[in-house]
Amino acid sequence: MHQICGRPKNLTVSLYNIAELYGRCIVARGLFQKKSVVVGICAEVSEVQEGSATTLCYLNIAEWSDEWQEKMNFLQREFDYFKGTGKRRQGEYEYPSID
C-alpha cells in the first residue's frame, strides 16, 4: 500500500519533491529490513510565496523483494539517498527530558 498526499501550488517542483520523497522512503524501508512501514514528511518553504507546503508519504511494504532491492540500489546509486550517512537510533520517548 502506498499513499502520497499533498496539495501542490507549484506543480513541477511539487512533483519532483513527491518523487524524491517516495524514493527516499523506498531506501529507508530497505535499510531497515525489520520494519514494514515508512512515513516520509517533506516540508517545503518558499522564498517567493508566503507559507509552506507539506507532503506526506506512507509506504507499507510487508515483504522486501528482489524487485524492491533493485529499486533501492538504483536510487542509492543515482541519487545517493542515505548513502554513507550511517544509521542513528532515536530514543523512543514521546516526551524526552530536556537537560
pLDDT of residue 86: 60
Percent of the chain topping pLDDT 90 = 49
Q: Looking at residue 12, what DSSP letter applies?
A: H
Closest CA to 4 of 41, 37, 53: 41
pTM value? 0.73
Rg (C-alpha) for the chain, rounded Å, is 15
pLDDT of residue 17: 86
Give the model confidence (pLDDT) of 6-26 as tens digits: 444 566 667 888 899 999 999
- Judged against a pLDDT cut of 80, whether residue 77 lies above it is answered with yes
Give the model confidence (pLDDT) of 26-54 as tens digits: 999 999 999 999 999 998 877 777 877 88
